[in-house]
Amino acid sequence: MIVETDGMTETLERTRVSGQSRAEVIREICRHLAPFQTGERPITGDTVIAKDLTIDSLAIMDMVMELEDHFDISIPMNVVAEIHTVDQLADTIQKLCARR
Partner 1 sequence: MGLFDRYEGLLEAYRDVRTTGYDPFQIRMERVLSPTEAIINGRKTLLVGTNNYFGLTFDPSCMEAAIEAIRAEGTGTTGSRIANGSYTEHVALEQEIAEFYGKKHCMVFTTGYQANLGLISTLAGEGDQLLIDADSHASIYDACKMTQAEVVRFKHNDPSSLEARLRRLGDRPGNRVVVLEGIYSMLGDSAPLREFIDVCKKYGAYVIVDEAHSLGALGDNGRGLCESAGVLDDCHFIVGTFSKTLGAIGGYCVSNDPDFDILRVTVRSYMFTASLPPSIVASVRQALKVVKAKPELRTQLWSNVATLYEGLAAKGFKLGPEHGPVVGVHLPDRMIAIGFWRAMLDAGIYVNVAVPPATPNGVSLLRCSVCAVHTKEQLEHMVEVMTGIARQFGVLEDRTLRVVGGAH
- Judged by the rule CB under 8 A, the positions of this chain that interact with partner 1 are 56-59, 61-62, 65, 68-69, 72-78, 100
Q: Which is nearer to partner 1, 11 or 53 (CB)?
A: 53
- CA atoms of 57 and 72, how far apart (whole Å): 22
Strand partners for 48:
85
Least distance to partner 1 from the beta carbon of 77, Å?
A: 4
Least distance to partner 1 from the beta carbon of 9, Å?
A: 30
Least distance to partner 1 from the beta carbon of 2, Å?
A: 27
Alpha-helical segments (H) within the chain: 8-18, 22-33, 49-52, 57-71, 77-82, 86-99
